[in-house]
């Protein structure tokens, strides 16, 4: 991407990805900063897009933006968003444990500095509650009608691609500031035929028929960690598209089930899993001694990948041959991803599949509620852990 930026040449695909982030709700300033492009240029592209006049170099005459480069761009935007949420958390310490009215008053005071939506999410209050407080000068009534609950349920149901059943829906509604009981949520969803999707089984892609060295199983199905970046697990899955197979390698931190690295390519060679590992390493900077657990696939057993682990001072661990239960956390992750992204979906191109998968991974890390984490997201779980360590140190 650096060569493209130095020459000032932006492909149409790069412009469209930048515009998509703005249309998704990010500010022009934050997107421009995260992608390293002039704010004025991005503003012009958005206006041209709205007028249907967006032009650009063809992929033949310009250097194309690869899927990995798009991932890096999205990662920069994600870091900018995390920094903003961190700053909001620091500034709002005085009202974090206060009631809704105090939080609404703080948001009112700071609304010129940060987006209202982001502040509401960090403070665990709803946007609708804040605007209701603005109009009336007090927090809304605690009693919520069935119809209002139904509106929220249907909106969340669409947002999560029909993935949530009533237990997660209940916790999501509570996170929106709605005081409602579990049984009430279950009955409303049942009455209106709103159901969560059920998991399917998918074909295994592991090639363990090779003569390469195999690492011992250091995890032994103990899929818990006391702190971030102690145990990672990795695997490969495939995505069908009309352009051919697209392969996804992911790395998950077992502490909070956060996806810390990933790579998408039209092949499943060693480069695929190595790039996912390098992304995780660059993002997290783990201490020496981290365990990386995988199956016995030829990509993970390859000399190139094992040399990379040794260079990063990471210990290799591998499951038993043909035993998916030895790497069940990432198998569960694949089931959730394919349930959300592939069920009833046909991708016309690798690019369309890449955009959909990257959006879902961002949703998974930042928003999706995990029952094993107490119905909060991986990012929120880790953020609370760091906050508790800060209090202990203080």
Cα–chain center distance at 111: 26
CATH number of the domain residue 367 falls in:
3.30.420.10
Q: Give the pLDDT confidence score for residue 199 in this predicted structure.
A: 57
User: Does residue 285 share a domain with residue 167?
Assistant: no
Q: Give the pLDDT confidence score for residue 124 in this predicted structure.
A: 86
- Gyration radius of the chain's alpha carbons: 23
CATH number of the domain residue 29 falls in:
1.10.10.10
Does residue 1 register a pLDDT over 70?
no
Does residue 95 register a pLDDT over 60?
yes
Report pTM.
0.59
Residues 252-288: pLDDT tens digits?
999 999 999 999 999 999 999 999 999 999 989 999 9
Residue 180 lies in a domain: yes
Q: Which of 65, 80, 108 is a domain's end point?
A: 65
How much is the average pLDDT of 138-160? 73
Residues 233-253: pLDDT tens digits?
999 999 999 999 999 999 999
Cα–chain center distance at 82: 12
Residue 302 lies in a domain: yes
Query: Residue-wise over 100-114: b if at least 16 C-beta within 10 A, else e?
Result: bebbbebbeeeeeeb
Q: At what angle do helices 28-35 and 12-23 cross, to 10 degrees?
A: 140
CA trace torsion 276, 279, 284, 290 (10° rounding): 40
Residue 50 lies in a domain: yes
Residue 202 lies in a domain: no
Contacts of 116 by beta carbon, 8 Å cutoff, 6+ apart: 107, 127, 130
Confidence at 154, pLDDT banded by 50, 70, 90: confident
User: Does residue 239 share a domain with residue 187?
Assistant: no
User: Does residue 375 share a domain with residue 257?
Assistant: yes
């Amino acid at each position: 991407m650096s060569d493209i930026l130095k020459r000032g040449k932006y492909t149409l695909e790069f412009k469209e990805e930048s515009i998509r982030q703005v249309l998704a709700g990010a500010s022009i300033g934050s997107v421009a900063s995260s992608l390293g492009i002039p704010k004025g240029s991005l503003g012009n592209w958005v206006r041209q897009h709205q007028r249907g006049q967006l032009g650009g170099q063809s992929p033949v005459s310009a250097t194309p933006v690869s899927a990995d480069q798009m991932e890096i761009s999205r990662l920069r935007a994600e870091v900018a968003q995390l920094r903003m949420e961190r700053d909001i958390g620091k500034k709002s310490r005085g009202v974090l444990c206060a009631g809704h009215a105090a939080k609404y008053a703080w948001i009112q005071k700071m609304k010129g500095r940060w987006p209202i939506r982001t502040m509401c999410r960090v403070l665990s209050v709803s946007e609708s509650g804040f605007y209701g407080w603005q109009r009336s000068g007090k927090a809304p009534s605690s009693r919520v009608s069935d119809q209002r609950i139904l509106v929220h349920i249907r909106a969340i149901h669409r947002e999560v691609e029909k993935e949530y059943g009533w237990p997660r829906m209940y916790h999501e509604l509570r996170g929106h500031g709605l005081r409602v009981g579990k049984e009430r949520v279950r009955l409303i969803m049942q009455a209106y035929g709103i159901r969560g999707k059920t998991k399917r089984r998918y074909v295994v892609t592991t090639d363990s028929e090779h003569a390469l060295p195999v690492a011992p199983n250091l995890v032994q199905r103990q899929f818990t960690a006391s702190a971030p970046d102690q145990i990672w697990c990795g695997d490969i899955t495939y995505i069908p598209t009309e352009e051919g197979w697209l392969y996804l390698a992911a790395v998950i931190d077992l502490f909070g089930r956060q996806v810390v690295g990933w790579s998408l390519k039209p092949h499943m060679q060693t480069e695929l899993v190595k790039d996912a590992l390098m992304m995780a390493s660059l993002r997290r900077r783990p201490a020496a001694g981290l365990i990386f657990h995988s199956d016995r696939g030829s990509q993970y057993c390859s000399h190139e990948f094992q040399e990379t682990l040794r260079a990063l001072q990471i210990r290799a661990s591998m499951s038993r041959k043909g035993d998916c239960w030895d790497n069940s956390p990432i198998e569960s992750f694949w089931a959730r991803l394919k349930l959300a992204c592939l069920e009833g979906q046909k991708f016309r191109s690798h690019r369309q599949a890449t955009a959909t998968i990257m959006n879902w991974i961002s949703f998974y890390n930042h928003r999706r509620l995990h029952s094993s984490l107490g119905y909060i997201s991986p990012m929120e779980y880790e953020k609370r852990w760091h906050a508790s360590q800060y209090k202990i140190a203080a």
